[in-house]
Protein backbone atom coordinates (compact mmCIF):
# COMPACT_ATOMS: atom_id res chain seq x y z
CA UNK A 1 0.00 0.00 0.00
CA UNK A 2 1.35 3.43 -0.87
CA UNK A 3 2.21 5.98 1.77
CA UNK A 4 -0.43 8.36 0.39
CA UNK A 5 -3.10 5.68 0.87
CA UNK A 6 -1.94 5.19 4.46
CA UNK A 7 -1.95 8.93 5.04
CA UNK A 8 -5.53 9.14 3.76
CA UNK A 9 -6.56 6.19 5.93
CA UNK A 10 -4.90 7.71 8.99
CA UNK A 11 -6.55 11.06 8.24
CA UNK A 12 -9.93 9.32 7.98
CA UNK A 13 -9.37 7.67 11.38
CA UNK A 14 -8.46 11.00 12.94
CA UNK A 15 -11.42 12.79 11.43
CA UNK A 16 -13.71 9.93 12.42
CA UNK A 17 -12.54 10.06 16.03
CA UNK A 18 -12.80 13.85 16.02
CA UNK A 19 -16.32 13.61 14.57
CA UNK A 20 -17.26 10.99 17.14
CA UNK A 21 -15.84 13.04 19.99
CA UNK A 22 -17.42 16.37 19.03
CA UNK A 23 -20.81 15.17 17.86
CA UNK A 24 -21.53 12.39 20.32
CA UNK A 25 -19.25 12.29 23.34
CA UNK A 26 -19.21 16.00 24.12
CA UNK A 27 -22.92 16.83 23.98
CA UNK A 28 -24.45 13.42 24.65
CA UNK A 29 -21.73 11.96 26.86
CA UNK A 30 -21.76 15.01 29.10
CA UNK A 31 -25.52 14.72 29.40
CA UNK A 32 -25.13 11.14 30.58
CA UNK A 33 -22.31 12.21 32.93
CA UNK A 34 -24.61 14.82 34.51
CA UNK A 35 -27.40 12.25 34.71
CA UNK A 36 -25.29 9.93 36.84
CA UNK A 37 -23.91 12.80 38.87
CA UNK A 38 -27.42 13.89 39.85
CA UNK A 39 -28.54 10.32 40.35
CA UNK A 40 -26.11 9.81 43.22
CA UNK A 41 -25.54 13.32 44.59
CA UNK A 42 -28.03 13.00 47.46
CA UNK A 43 -25.80 10.42 49.12
CA UNK A 44 -23.15 13.12 49.57
CA UNK A 45 -25.31 16.14 50.46
CA UNK A 46 -27.92 14.45 52.66
CA UNK A 47 -26.35 15.66 55.92
CA UNK A 48 -26.23 19.23 54.61
CA UNK A 49 -29.87 19.00 53.54
CA UNK A 50 -30.88 17.65 56.94
CA UNK A 51 -29.03 20.41 58.77
CA UNK A 52 -30.01 23.30 56.47
CA UNK A 53 -33.66 22.43 55.99
CA UNK A 54 -34.44 20.17 58.96
CA UNK A 55 -35.58 17.41 56.62
CA UNK A 56 -36.31 13.97 58.01
CA UNK A 57 -34.79 10.90 56.34
CA UNK A 58 -38.13 10.10 54.68
CA UNK A 59 -38.04 13.43 52.85
CA UNK A 60 -34.53 12.73 51.64
CA UNK A 61 -35.75 9.39 50.33
CA UNK A 62 -38.59 11.17 48.56
CA UNK A 63 -36.10 13.57 46.91
CA UNK A 64 -34.22 10.62 45.48
CA UNK A 65 -37.42 8.85 44.49
CA UNK A 66 -38.91 11.81 42.60
CA UNK A 67 -35.77 11.95 40.46
CA UNK A 68 -36.29 8.35 39.36
CA UNK A 69 -40.05 8.76 38.97
CA UNK A 70 -39.72 11.63 36.51
CA UNK A 71 -36.77 9.89 34.89
CA UNK A 72 -38.90 6.82 34.19
CA UNK A 73 -41.87 8.86 32.97
CA UNK A 74 -39.81 10.55 30.25
CA UNK A 75 -38.39 7.50 28.48
CA UNK A 76 -40.34 7.96 25.27
CA UNK A 77 -38.32 9.26 22.31
CA UNK A 78 -40.29 10.24 19.22
CA UNK A 79 -38.22 13.11 17.87
CA UNK A 80 -34.59 12.01 17.62
CA UNK A 81 -31.58 12.67 19.80
CA UNK A 82 -30.66 16.16 18.66
CA UNK A 83 -34.17 17.52 19.09
CA UNK A 84 -34.60 15.91 22.49
CA UNK A 85 -31.29 16.30 24.31
CA UNK A 86 -30.74 20.08 24.35
CA UNK A 87 -34.25 21.11 25.45
CA UNK A 88 -34.34 18.34 28.05
CA UNK A 89 -31.05 19.48 29.56
CA UNK A 90 -32.57 22.94 29.99
CA UNK A 91 -35.10 21.31 32.32
CA UNK A 92 -32.18 19.83 34.26
CA UNK A 93 -30.52 23.24 34.54
CA UNK A 94 -33.78 24.83 35.72
CA UNK A 95 -34.28 22.02 38.22
CA UNK A 96 -30.76 22.41 39.55
CA UNK A 97 -31.28 26.14 40.05
CA UNK A 98 -34.64 25.59 41.77
CA UNK A 99 -33.10 22.89 43.99
CA UNK A 100 -30.21 25.15 44.98
CA UNK A 101 -32.40 28.12 45.97
CA UNK A 102 -35.26 26.22 47.60
CA UNK A 103 -35.86 26.44 51.30
CA UNK A 104 -38.84 24.09 51.39
CA UNK A 105 -39.31 20.41 50.77
CA UNK A 106 -41.77 21.19 47.97
CA UNK A 107 -39.23 23.37 46.18
CA UNK A 108 -36.59 20.66 46.52
CA UNK A 109 -39.01 18.07 45.12
CA UNK A 110 -39.90 20.27 42.14
CA UNK A 111 -36.23 20.98 41.45
CA UNK A 112 -35.24 17.33 41.75
CA UNK A 113 -38.14 16.28 39.54
CA UNK A 114 -37.12 18.74 36.84
CA UNK A 115 -33.54 17.45 37.00
CA UNK A 116 -34.80 13.88 36.60
CA UNK A 117 -36.98 14.90 33.67
CA UNK A 118 -34.14 16.86 32.11
CA UNK A 119 -31.55 14.10 32.15
CA UNK A 120 -33.95 11.25 31.44
CA UNK A 121 -33.13 10.99 27.77
CA UNK A 122 -29.38 11.42 28.06
CA UNK A 123 -28.27 7.82 27.63
CA UNK A 124 -30.87 6.84 25.06
CA UNK A 125 -30.26 10.01 23.05
CA UNK A 126 -26.55 9.25 23.07
CA UNK A 127 -27.06 5.64 21.96
CA UNK A 128 -29.56 6.73 19.31
CA UNK A 129 -27.07 9.30 18.00
CA UNK A 130 -24.42 6.58 17.77
CA UNK A 131 -26.84 4.32 15.92
CA UNK A 132 -27.70 7.08 13.44
CA UNK A 133 -24.26 8.57 12.83
CA UNK A 134 -21.84 5.66 13.22
CA UNK A 135 -21.29 2.44 11.33
CA UNK A 136 -22.78 -0.58 13.07
CA UNK A 137 -19.34 -2.03 13.88
CA UNK A 138 -18.60 1.02 16.06
CA UNK A 139 -21.76 0.76 18.18
CA UNK A 140 -20.39 -1.58 20.88
CA UNK A 141 -17.31 0.59 21.49
CA UNK A 142 -19.23 3.86 21.38
CA UNK A 143 -21.88 2.53 23.76
CA UNK A 144 -19.20 1.27 26.14
CA UNK A 145 -17.52 4.69 26.06
CA UNK A 146 -20.82 6.42 26.79
CA UNK A 147 -21.51 4.09 29.72
CA UNK A 148 -18.01 4.79 31.02
CA UNK A 149 -18.64 8.53 30.85
CA UNK A 150 -21.80 7.99 32.91
CA UNK A 151 -19.79 5.99 35.43
CA UNK A 152 -17.40 8.91 35.73
CA UNK A 153 -20.40 11.06 36.62
CA UNK A 154 -21.27 8.69 39.44
CA UNK A 155 -17.67 8.80 40.62
CA UNK A 156 -17.61 12.60 40.47
CA UNK A 157 -20.57 12.74 42.84
CA UNK A 158 -18.62 10.97 45.59
CA UNK A 159 -15.16 12.00 46.83
CA UNK A 160 -14.66 14.87 44.34
CA UNK A 161 -18.01 16.41 45.29
CA UNK A 162 -17.31 15.85 48.97
CA UNK A 163 -13.99 17.69 48.55
CA UNK A 164 -15.73 20.51 46.68
CA UNK A 165 -18.18 20.84 49.57
CA UNK A 166 -15.29 21.78 51.86
CA UNK A 167 -15.01 25.02 49.82
CA UNK A 168 -18.61 25.55 48.71
CA UNK A 169 -22.02 25.05 50.24
CA UNK A 170 -24.28 22.41 48.73
CA UNK A 171 -26.32 25.23 47.20
CA UNK A 172 -23.28 26.72 45.46
CA UNK A 173 -22.25 23.29 44.20
CA UNK A 174 -25.59 22.98 42.42
Instruction: Kindly compute the dihedral angle of the four CA atoms of residues 149, 150, 154, 159, in this order, to the nearest 10 degrees.
Output: 10
Global pTM?
A: 0.78
Question: What is the rounded average pLDDT of the residues 162-173?
Answer: 89
Q: Tens digit of pLDDT for each residue in 62-76?
A: 888 888 888 777 765
Per-residue pLDDT, 99: 93
Mean pLDDT score of the chain, rounded to an integer? Answer: 83
**With bands split at pLDDT 50, 70 and 90, how would you rate the model's confidence at 1?**
very low
d(CA 43, CA 67): 13
Domain boundaries, the chain: 3-173
Q: What percentage of residues in the chain have a pLDDT greater than 90?
A: 20
Top-tier CATH class for 3-173: mainly alpha
Q: Determine whether 137 is exposed, middle or buried from the number of CB atoms within 10 Å of its CB (0-12, 13-18, 19+).
A: exposed
Amino acid sequence: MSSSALDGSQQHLKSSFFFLFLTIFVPFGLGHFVSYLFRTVNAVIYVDLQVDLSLPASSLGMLTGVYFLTFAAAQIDRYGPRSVQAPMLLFAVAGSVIFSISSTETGLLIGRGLVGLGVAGSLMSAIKACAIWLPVERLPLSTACLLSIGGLGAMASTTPLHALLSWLTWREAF
